[in-house]
Amino acid sequence: MVRLRMEGSPHGLQEILLKPGLNRLGRVADNDFQISDDSVSSHHCQIELKDGVITVQDLNSTNGTFLDGQPIQQAVLHPGQVLCLGTVPMVCQDDPVTEPADIPAGPSSGAGAGVTPSAANPAGIPVAVNTGVCAQHPQAAAKWCCVKCGGAFCTACVKTTRVGGQFFRACPRCGGSCMSVAEYTRLMTPAPTNFFALWREAFSYPLKKDGAILLVCGTIVFSLLDGGRWVLSYFKFAGFMGLAYWLCLIMSVGYLFAFMQNIVQASSQGEEKMPDWPEISGFWDDLAIPFFRFGVIWFLCLGPGIAVMLLVSPLAGVPLLFLGLFCLPMAILTVCLADGIAGLNPIIIFSGIGKVPLPYLTTCGIFLMVIAIMHGSRMLLELTGIPMLPTVISAFISLYGITVEMRLLGLLYFTNKSKLAWFE
């Protein structure tokens, strides 16, 4: 019996016994297994147990699904590996699997020359010696690779069945699940770990998959909130209407910063998919605290420069203001990763900048460009005189620019974890 063990779990559930077929895990009660933790989404992931293969698929969760510390969308789970839902870790346990006797222990000439069972990639999938030709028909091109034994086979060798509306392709040797050679090759190819090999991808990141839809939905919501703040701004210090103005401000800024933090955290783990908009379960935790963090970042980075400009002299305040702007992106990164204002440690911020100067300068340059485009586009749109057009278009441009910048900050940490060494 395959089980997921949660040692010392504070959530009541200590062990999950997986049943054959689909097992859905999440925070709400209609899942097969309910995990009552705020970091777990309502419907977080599903685990399929079929033909001895354990497949985990993330269900667009907010805080992600991780296998041995690496973010996944879909992967094969092996006994001994640690599956993490949000911040809830679980160890996969099972009885030792005895391979069928007819499976070769290593590569040999002829039919068995397709796999080295002892070698595996970081996802736990055995490494095929040759994915170009079929292990049983050397004259035929390989189309499928087994995730259990690593054999490479042609279409004629793989048995295909349709189960639950999905195709399952069984390995002719061990009966394990097979994936396409293209998918196998993608999993076996190490991801680039150089910031300058990835930074251009940040500009297409907001438009990948469901990203464009998320931006459009966000544009609608923030345009309405912006319009509401504009109306309420005339009464910001007048009783109930004034309270409504400040609540509207906290909601818009707090929710935006929560979204920014999700992007930074997902990108810092190497996740390629843009996260969904954050779930709101409470005003204080999900809106007020992010608003407070955002305000503290801006106050500590820009406040000293502004204060010196107003109280001492503009000449002395301008350099201090530029220094604050220079440190602002790194301050956002440290707060997002630390998940608190404890990340606003000057030693961490300045040492981090010193450890990755060129990537950080690139990020700062793009940050300034994004701010200039955001404000410049709004000024130009306001010249048209068309009602609501500046608000809607500039909201979309702003969300796009913010998403790009948060992606860059996440990639900055992802590609320089060993240098920064913040959480070791």
pLDDT, mean of each 10-residue run, the chain (424 residues): 68 71 88 85 90 86 85 85 86 58 37 38 52 79 80 85 62 79 67 77 87 88 80 72 83 92 88 84 89 94 92 89 92 91 90 93 90 84 79 87 93 88 67
Predicted pLDDT of residue 7: 56
Predicted pLDDT of residue 257: 94
- Residue 132 DSSP symbol: S
Q: Which residues contact 335 (CB under 8 A, 6 or more apart)?
A: 261, 293, 297, 341, 343, 344
Helix (H) or strand (E) holding 170: strand 166-170
Joined tokens for residue 61: 């969760």
How crowded is residue 412: how many other Cβ atoms within 10 Å of its Cβ?
A: 25
Whether residue 178 contacts residue 149, with contact meaning beta carbons closer than 8 Å, is answered with no
Predicted pLDDT of residue 166: 54
The number of angstroms, rounded, from the C-alpha of 290 to the middle of its chain's C-alpha atoms is 18
Whether residue 297 contacts residue 335, with contact meaning beta carbons closer than 8 Å, is answered with yes
CA–CA dist 206, 274 (Å, integer): 7
Whether residue 359 contacts residue 412, with contact meaning beta carbons closer than 8 Å, is answered with yes
Predicted pLDDT of residue 211: 83
Exposure string of 284-312, with b = 16+ CB inside 10 Å and e = fewer, is: eebbebbbbbbeebeebbbeebeebbeee
Predicted pLDDT of residue 374: 82
Dihedral Cα 193, 195, 199, 201, nearest 10 deg = 0
Predicted pLDDT of residue 290: 93
pTM over 0.95: no
Residue 66: beta bridge partners? 71, 84
Query: How far is CA 200 from each of CA 61, 192, 355, 403, 412, rounded to the nearest angstrom?
Result: 26, 13, 21, 13, 12
The candidate with the shortest Cα–Cα distance to 56, out of 114, 16, 28, is 16
Whether residue 353 contacts residue 345, with contact meaning beta carbons closer than 8 Å, is answered with no
Sign of CA dihedral 290, 296, 301, 306: positive
Predicted pLDDT of residue 12: 47
Exposed, middle or buried: residue 32 (CB in 10 Å: 0-12, 13-18, 19+)? middle
CA–CA dist 271, 268 (Å, integer): 7
Helix (H) or strand (E) holding 231: helix 211-232
Q: Degrees (nearest 5) of the Cα angle 246, 262, 406?
A: 90
Predicted pLDDT of residue 127: 58
For β-strands 53-58 and 88-93, DSSP reports them as unpaired
Predicted pLDDT of residue 148: 74
Predicted pLDDT of residue 246: 85
Predicted pLDDT of residue 189: 59
Q: For the chain, first and last CA: distance in Å?
A: 35
